[in-house]
Amino acid sequence: MLKTTQLSQERFSSLSTVSRVVIVGGGFSGATIGRLLALSRLFRREEMVIFEPRSRLGAGVAYDTNDPSLRLNVAAHRMRAIPGDPQRFARWFCETGRSGRDPEAGTKGAIYARRGDFADFMDNEMRPLLESGDILHMCERVTSIRRQNGCWRIEGTAGTILHADIVVVATGHPPPRTPAQFASGLQCHPRFISNPSSPCAFQKIQQSDNIIVIGAGLTALDVLATLRACGHGGEITLLSRSGLLPRPQATGSFALDGDLLKCFPKTALGLLQQVRSAIDEVTEKGLPWQSVFDALRHQGQAIWQALPPEGQRRFLRHLCRWFEIHRFRMPPQIKELVVRETATGRLHIRAGRIVSAAYDSQHILIDIATAPHRSIEQARAQWLILATGPDHENAIGHEACLLDLERVGLITKDPHGLGIKCDRENRAVARDGTPVEGLLIAGPLARGTFGELTSVPEIVDQAEKIVERIRQMHFTGTRRMAMRIDAE
Ligand X SMILES: Cc1cc2nc3c(=O)[nH]c(=O)nc-3n(C[C@H](O)[C@H](O)[C@H](O)COP(=O)(O)OP(=O)(O)OC[C@H]3O[C@@H](n4cnc5c(N)ncnc54)[C@H](O)[C@@H]3O)c2cc1C
List interacting residues with ligand X (CB under 6 A).
24-30, 51-54, 60-62, 72-74, 79, 141-142, 170-173, 399, 401, 443-444, 454-456, 459
CB of 5 to ligand X, least distance (A): 14
Which strand ranges, in their side-by-side order, compose the sheet holding 347-359? 192-193, 383-386, 211-214, 236-240, 347-359, 364-370, 376-381
Sign of the CA dihedral with 429 first, then 430, 434, and 440 last: negative
CB of 49 to ligand X, least distance (A): 11
Query: Considering beta carbons, is residue 17 or 454 the nearer one to ligand X?
Result: 454
C-beta separation of 331 from 112 below 8 A: yes
Contacts of 220 (CB under 8 A, 6+ apart): 213, 214, 238, 240, 387
Query: Backbone phi, then psi, for 142, in 5-degree steps?
Result: -85, 130
Query: Considering beta carbons, is residue 294 or 399 the nearer one to ligand X?
Result: 399
- DSSP assignment string, 390-452: --GGGTTTT-HHHHHHHHTTS--B-TTSSSB-B-TT-EEEPTTS-EEEEEEE-GGGGHHHHS-
Residue 68: is the preceding peptide bond cis (ω within 30°)?
A: no
C-beta separation of 6 from 137 below 8 A: no
C-beta separation of 325 from 351 below 8 A: no
C-beta separation of 124 from 83 below 8 A: no
C-beta separation of 127 from 1 below 8 A: yes
Query: Considering beta carbons, is residue 271 or 405 the nearer one to ligand X?
Result: 405
Query: Considering beta carbons, is residue 62 or 292 the nearer one to ligand X?
Result: 62
Query: Considering beta carbons, is residue 74 or 292 the nearer one to ligand X?
Result: 74
CB of 60 to ligand X, least distance (A): 2
Query: Considering beta carbons, is residue 212 or 401 the nearer one to ligand X?
Result: 401
CB of 193 to ligand X, least distance (A): 16
Q: What is the DSSP letter of 114?
A: B
Nearest partner of 55 among 140, 117, 116, judged by Cα: 140
CB of 343 to ligand X, least distance (A): 26
CB of 317 to ligand X, least distance (A): 22
- Long-range Cβ contact pairs of 304-309 (< 8 A, separation 24 or more): 304/450, 304/451, 304/452, 305/424, 305/449, 305/450, 305/451, 306/264, 306/265, 306/266, 307/264, 307/265, 307/266, 307/267, 307/268, 307/271, 308/266, 309/415
Nearest partner of 474 among 147, 8, 31, 44, judged by Cα: 44
CB of 26 to ligand X, least distance (A): 6
CB of 145 to ligand X, least distance (A): 9
CB of 380 to ligand X, least distance (A): 29
Query: Considering beta carbons, is residue 56 or 232 the nearer one to ligand X?
Result: 56
Query: Considering beta carbons, is residue 226 or 274 the nearer one to ligand X?
Result: 226
Query: Considering beta carbons, is residue 24 or 381 the nearer one to ligand X?
Result: 24
CB of 206 to ligand X, least distance (A): 26
Query: Considering beta carbons, is residue 77 or 346 the nearer one to ligand X?
Result: 77
